[in-house]
């Protein structure tokens, strides 16, 4: 089956293609929406070239190199916390996953799997309850935000010393990127930021670039990356066993349980933006 062409909404997005720390003089190859790209660094910064050798637009933001195959309307969604001087901003790793990027985002938004998949870290039996929370569209419908998500976590972060009820906020400001905020064990008034930036390499595969902006003045970068990769490594087999590999948008394919409220909103939002890439559109 020939690879599908991206729909206009997807085509005109910025996408991450590498962590900045992985961009060197020696060119590296990657794929975006089925198109092979080459990226490297020269005297003036990062460069990306497309399949036909043309130079593509670049952004160097949030510890990643971003590019586009279309014409995005503006820049990237804001993450103001990223600029706060006392935070640690870390690209924790870029992992390839054999499933659509939208499946990756949906899993990222779901707290229900924590006790089963991240046992002893992000959840623990018998604490399986996802309490009532709130989901809404903000920024004139450009962004999904879920708030008041509470979950018991035995070891919420690298600096946790005991279990705690942790509060989460999730943002989906981009079809394949999500930013989550969770209570910081270091400072009760502030939130740690964990972003999953999805690079759709094809309709059924993506690279997940994990970027953290957290309060941790104790641990080395190595350990923070280790912790994040450990968690993502646990998600990987769950993701790769999902069938179908593209995200179904048909409302009848949705399971209306409370934990899935964000996911239902996400699927509708993709549908209303005309997304067909990486998903199975609802029958007309």
The nearest distance, CB 104 to other proteins, in angstroms, is: 13
207 binds, among other proteins, Fe ion, none (CB under 5 to 8 A by kind): other proteins
Q: At what angle do helices 101-108 and 221-240 cross, to 10 degrees?
A: 110
Cross-strand pairs, 149: 168
Q: How far does CA 270 lie from the centroid of its chain? A: 15
Binding mask 26-65 for other proteins (x = CB under 8 A): ----x-----------------------------------
Which residue shows structure tokens 């942790």? 166
> Cβ closer to other proteins: 73 or 222?
222
Which residue shows structure tokens 């929370």? 133
Report strand pairing: 247-248 vs 134-138.
unpaired
The nearest distance, CB 117 to Fe ion, in angstroms, is: 5
Q: Classify burial at 98, counting beta carbons within 10 Å of its beta carbon; exposed 0-12, middle 13-18, buried 19 or more.
A: middle
> Cβ closer to other proteins: 59 or 231?
231
> Cβ closer to Fe ion: 62 or 232?
232
232 binds other proteins (CB under 8 A): yes
226 binds other proteins (CB under 8 A): yes
> Cβ closer to other proteins: 29 or 189?
29
How far apart (Å, rounded) are the C-alpha atoms in residues 206 and 156? Answer: 26
Cross-strand pairs, 95: 208
How far apart (Å, rounded) are the C-alpha atoms in residues 12 and 85? Answer: 32
> Cβ closer to other proteins: 132 or 240?
240
How far apart (Å, rounded) are the C-alpha atoms in residues 139 and 165? Answer: 29
Binding mask 122-151 for other proteins (x = CB under 8 A): ---x--------------------------
234 binds other proteins (CB under 8 A): yes
Residue 107 near residue 95 (C-beta atoms within 8 A): no
Positions touching Fe ion (CB under 5 A) are: 235
Positions touching other proteins (CB under 8 A) are: 19, 21-22, 30, 91-98, 115-117, 119-120, 125, 207, 222-223, 225-226, 229-234, 236-237, 240-241
């Amino acid at each position: 089956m020939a690879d599908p062409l991206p729909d206009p909404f997807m085509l005109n997005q910025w996408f991450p293609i590498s962590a900045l720390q992985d961009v060197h003089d020696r060119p590296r190859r990657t794929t975006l929406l089925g198109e092979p790209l080459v990226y490297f660094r020269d005297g003036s910064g990062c460069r990306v070239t497309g399949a036909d050798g043309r130079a593509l637009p670049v952004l160097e933001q949030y510890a990643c190199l971003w590019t586009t195959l279309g014409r995005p309307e503006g820049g990237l969604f804001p993450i103001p916390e990223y600029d706060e001087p006392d935070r640690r901003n870390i690209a924790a790793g870029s992992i390839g996953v054999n499933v659509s990027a939208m499946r990756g985002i949906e899993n990222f938004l779901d707290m229900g799997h924590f006790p089963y998949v991240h046992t002893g870290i992000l959840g623990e039996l018998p604490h399986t309850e996802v309490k009532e929370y709130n989901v809404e569209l903000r920024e004139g419908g450009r962004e999904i935000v879920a708030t008041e998500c509470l979950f018991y976590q035995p070891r919420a972060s690298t600096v946790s010393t005991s279990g705690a009820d942790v509060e989460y906020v999730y943002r989906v400001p981009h079809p394949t990127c999500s930013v989550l905020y969770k209570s910081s064990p270091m400072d009760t008034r502030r939130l740690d930021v964990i972003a999953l930036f999805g690079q759709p390499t094809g309709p059924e595969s993506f690279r997940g670039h994990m970027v953290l902006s957290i309060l941790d003045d104790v641990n080395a970068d190595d350990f923070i990356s280790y912790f994040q990769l450990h968690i993502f490594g646990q998600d990987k087999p769950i993701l790769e066993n999902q069938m179908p590999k593209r995200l179904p948008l048909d409302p009848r394919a949705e399971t209306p349980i409370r934990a899935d409220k964000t996911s239902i909103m996400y699927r509708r939002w993709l549908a209303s933006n005309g997304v067909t890439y990486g998903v199975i559109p609802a029958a007309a």
